[in-house]
Amino acid sequence: MATFNKKISKKVTTTDSFFGSMVRGIYPAVVENSNALAKQVSLLEYPLGEYLHCNTPWAEVDHVLMPIRMGVHAHWILVHLDIRNRCLNVYNSCCATIRDGEVRVDVQPFALVIPHLMANIDIWQPVIVNGIQRIEPLVVNLVHDIPQQSNGTDCGVFVIKYAEYFMNDMMERMPNPFDATSERIYLASQLYKHGLHKINEGYESDPDFLSRRERKARKGANKK
């Protein structure tokens, strides 16, 4: 939607669940050595827009929407990277059970690693303090007064809908209470509709059936 829907005016891209796993995996090393990201090729491909299909380089957008599975709880949250304001806005659909302090601790690896990612690909520059380069962690804001799930299974649907309402600049219009069951049916129908549209129009999404290695090889061939 963020890539092809012309009705969406926000400049948005996204990540996948593997991004969260990679960030958590490299976090201890970055704490010890800020240069630890230099050899993390797959992780660096995310902000370059080369890891996922239908993705956009972070240098060309204002927002990155990240579905994150919390490390301790089997719970999904939406983490919004606001590139212009250099902060993370966190949408948690289970505030009654998973407290703000737990969420802040869980998001801390992203607050530290993402600025280093941005510096590694020259989107952001380090801050000079007393002649020393410093890369500051991102500010973490917890978004409150948003619809909440009523069970322990609907967090994924809420993450998808938080992202959709945000992209359409309609967060304040998201229904509260929110009918997750109806939204599951709606999401399934939209996927089916998209599949039919692709069959009838005879096109493939950008580019659905190429591996990252094949795409990079073609990109290199085109440069030659």
The predicted structure's pLDDT at residue 222: 62
Q: Distance of CA 62 to CAs 56, 58, 117, 152, 174, Å?
A: 11, 8, 16, 32, 22
Q: What is the mean pLDDT for each group of 10 consecutive residues in the chain (224 residues)? A: 77 92 95 88 91 87 96 92 97 94 96 94 79 86 94 92 93 89 90 84 59 61 62
Closest to 37 in 3D by CA, of 106, 130, 134, 114: 114
Q: Could you write out the three-class secondary structure of 89-148?
A: EEECCCCCCCCHHHHHHHHHHHHHHHHHHHHHCCCCCCEEECCEEECCCCEEEEECCCCC
pLDDT of residue 50: 87
Q: How far apart are the first and last CA of the chain?
A: 32
CA distance linking residue 92 with residue 78, whole number of Å: 7
Q: How far is the C-alpha of 14 from the C-alpha of 52, rounded, in Å?
A: 9
Residue 73 confidence (pLDDT): 84
Instruction: For 164-210, write each residue's pLDDT tens digit.
Output: 999 999 999 998 888 898 999 998 998 898 888 878 876 665 555 55
Residue 197 near residue 214, CB atoms below 8 Å = no
Among 100, 125, 107, which Cα is nearest to 27's? 107
pLDDT at 74: 87
Ramachandran area for residue 54 (φ above 0: left; ψ -120 to 50: alpha; else beta): left
Do residues 84 and 91 touch, judged by C-beta distance below 8 A?
Answer: no
Q: Which two tokens stand for residue 87?
A: 């902060």
Q: Among candidates 72, 127, 123, 130, which has minimal Cα distance to 102?
A: 72
Question: What integer pLDDT is reported at residue 27 of this predicted model?
Answer: 96
pLDDT tens-place string over residues 34-48: 889 888 888 999 999
Please, is 28 exposed, middle or buried when counting C-beta atoms within 10 Å of its C-beta (0-12, 13-18, 19+)?
exposed
> Which residue bears the tokens 């030659």?
224
